Amino acid sequence: MFEYAPAPESRSVVDLKPSYGLFIDGRFVDPTDGGSFKSINPASEEVLAEIAEGGGQDVERAVRAARTAYDKVWGPMPGRDRAKYLFRIARIIQERSRELAVLESLDNGKPIKESRDVDLPLVAAHFFYYAGWADKLEHAGFGPDPKPLGVAAQVIPWNFPLLMLAWKIAPALAAGNTVVLKPAETTPLTALLFAEICQQADLPAGVVNIVTGAGDTGRALVEHPGVDKVAFTGSTEVGRAIARAVAGTRKKLTLELGGKAANIVFDDAPVDQAVEGIVNGIFFNQGHVCCAGSRLLVQESVADRVLESLKRRMARLRVGDPLDKNTDIGAINSAAQLARIRELSDAGSAEGAERWSPACELPERGFWFAPTIFTGVTQAHRIAREEIFGPVLSVLTFRTPAEAVEKANNTPYGLSAGIWTDKGSRILWTADRLRAGVVWANTFNKFDPTSPFGGYKESGYGREGGRHGLEGYLNV
């Protein structure tokens, strides 16, 4: 066996400042009534930078700046001119993509090959795609002259920091809104670099405002009476609190929440291809993926073959330095998330499921979790019901297609699902019966800006991406 030589990506392309202010009205400013917190590299626990924490008055300043920009500049601006700014931002993202990818991997812990080859190309594609809509809104199917809503408050999670920012900001600006965005407290750095890109693109002041902070800052933002629209991606628990806070106001709300997707492998599926899909479904981005295929439903007659092949494949996954180009699985994003993954995995063992991980050496510093599968899982187990949001797969079996569908739908969530089979008719039959916003067939975790994404049930409401993604930002 040949060993891989280290292939680290250089971090010299990133110019980290020791501290960052809030980005309000086109400038970086100190917080008025907030404090500060540190953003760390989860792979080494090294402090990357000191970040401003926005307080109530800072949120007030940001919302006011967004309102003025909406009334005076962005709202009245013709769509074809808004498009020029969005195209410019998209091109700068492409030009600076290496810098953004390295910074994303440093702050989030995801492997560089994912931030470089998945996150960044999708971020740029999102801005290009919505730039194209900005002057064609009257053809989007929402009436002859659809109007923007005004000021959008946007709160995002840490698993795809820049991609979630793109999903939020690109459609909002294309539709003519201005925004105040709060990134997650563990991954604020690429959003702050995006603020610099807005300056570089000469985006008018106040159109995009970035207020960093934790849950209290997010709450102050979504509860601010001056916002017209709230867009949230994060946990179902916080989503519920936001829905309660917004109920009875005139604010329009979209929620993108958690998931517990079934990845269904039928007995006629090509096994090697399915195994690649299972690995991609649960180990991509350390399993920190809302639509992760975290429940494998495999037909009983092929279960042994699939599992044997899966274990062989998992033994080849390389866990370690996110900046190494050979790394498949990087660091867990935070100590808190690692504790949650451990707690749920321990519950899996305690409830009687059988746990397996390949032999793998984990670095001493930082937050790490070996890729893990549980077999012998039943529907009642916590690991079959709760979102683990880590590299942990629960394996269940089924005998008939009807049983597969019933088990797949037996969850409070409904974000995504996967189907592996040789037969087109079986794909259609199954997809028709699955209660999930996205159903992938013979593939998994494929994203495209032209395609709508969103949930059923406790996975949220509203759609992001595609023509549908404009609706949440228009007065229709």
What are the catalytic residues?
Answer: 256
Q: How far is the CB of 374 from ligand NAD (least distance, A)?
A: 19
With beta carbons less than 8 A apart as the criterion, state whether 448 and 454 touch. no
Span interacting with ligand NAD, options 23-31, 48-56, 170-178, 257-265, rule CB under 6 A: 257-265
- By CB under 6 A, which span of 74-82, 232-240, 352-360, 427-435 interacts with ligand NAD? 232-240
Per the document, the length of the chain is: 476
CA dihedral 280, 283, 288, 293 (to 10 degrees): 50
Q: Contact with ligand NAD (CB under 6 A): which of 103, 123, 155, 261?
A: 155
Number of H helices and E strands in the chain, helices first, is 16, 18
Q: Take residue 13 and report the two structure tokens written for it.
A: 């392309």
Largest separation between any pair of C-alpha atoms in the chain: 65
Closest CA to 438 of 412, 413, 421: 413
Among 152, 174, 222, 332, the residue binding ligand NAD under the rule CB under 6 A is 222
Per rule CB under 6 A, is residue 256 in the interface with ligand NAD? yes
Closest CB 232 distance from ligand NAD, rounded Å: 7
Contact assessment for residue 256 and residue 454, using Cβ atoms and an 8 Å cutoff: yes
Closer residue to ligand NAD in complex, CB, 52/290: 290
- Enter the DSSP assignment of 359: -
Residue 473 corresponds to which tokens in the numbers above? Answer: 């930002």
Please answer whether residues 395 and 311 qualify as being in contact, where contact means their C-beta atoms are separated by less than 8 angstroms: no
Rule CB under 6 A: is residue 26 a binding residue for ligand NAD? no
By the rule CB under 6 A, 398 interacts with ligand NAD: no
Is the CB of 212 or the CB of 421 nearer to ligand NAD?
Answer: 212
Q: Is 315 helix (H, G, I), strand (E, B) or coil?
A: coil
Which 3 state secondary structure label does DSSP give 211? coil
What interhelical angle do 189-200 and 161-174 show, nearest 10?
Answer: 40
Tell me if 242 contacts ligand NAD by CB under 6 A: yes
Q: Is 233 in the site for ligand NAD (CB under 6 A)?
A: yes
Counting contacts by CB under 6 A, is residue 218 touching ligand NAD? yes
Cβ distance to ligand NAD smaller for residue 244 or 316: 244
Q: How far apart, in whole angstroms, are the C-alpha atoms of residue 431 and residue 439?
A: 6
In the sheet with 438-441, reading across from the earlier edge strand, the strands are 354-356, 372-375, 392-398, 295-299, 262-265, 416-420, 438-441
Alpha-carbon distance 86 to 83, whole Å? 5
Residue 105 C-beta: closest distance to ligand NAD, Å: 18
Stretch 402-441: interaction string toward ligand NAD, x if CB under 6 A: -------------x--------------------------
- Which residue, 345 or 397, has its beta carbon nearer to ligand NAD? 345
Residue 257 binding ligand NAD, by CB under 6 A? yes
Q: Which of 23, 158, 368, 369 binds ligand NAD (CB under 6 A)?
A: 158
Is residue 184 involved in binding ligand NAD (CB under 6 A)?
yes
Question: Quick one: 320 or 455, whose CB is closer to ligand NAD?
Answer: 455
181 touches ligand NAD (CB under 6 A): no
Q: Which is nearer to ligand NAD, 74 or 283 (CB)?
A: 283
- Given the rule CB under 6 A, which of 142-150, 212-220, 400-408, 427-435 is the region that contacts ligand NAD? 212-220
Q: Binding ligand NAD by CB under 6 A: which of 58, 185, 228, 328?
A: 185
Residues 264-293 as x/- pattern, contact with ligand NAD by CB under 6 A: --------------------------x---
Q: What backbone phi and psi angles, to 5 degrees, belong to 244?
A: -65, -45
Beta-strand ranges (E) seen in 17-148 are: 19-20, 22-24, 27-29, 36-40, 47-52
Residue type, 48: L
Asked if 463 is part of the footprint of ligand NAD (rule: CB under 6 A), the reply reads no
- Does residue 219 bind ligand NAD (CB under 6 A)? yes
Q: Quote helix, strand, coil % in the chain, to nearest 5.
A: 40, 20, 40
| Residue 59 binds to ligand NAD (criterion: CB under 6 A) | no
Q: How many CB atoms lie within 10 A of CB 338?
A: 18
State the minimum distance, in angstroms, from the CB of residue 157 to ligand NAD. 3
Nearer to ligand NAD, 163 or 302 (CB): 163
Instruction: Say if CB 405 and CB 448 are below 8 A apart.
Output: no
User: Which residues 332-391 are close enough to bind ligand NAD by CB under 6 A?
Assistant: 387, 389
295 SS3 class = strand
Angle (CA) 290-293-298 rounded to 5° is: 160
Q: Is there binding between residue 258 and ligand NAD (CB under 6 A)?
A: yes
The site for ligand NAD (CB under 6 A) is made up of 155-159, 182, 184-185, 214-215, 218-219, 222, 233-235, 238, 241-242, 256-259, 290, 387, 389, 415, 455, 460
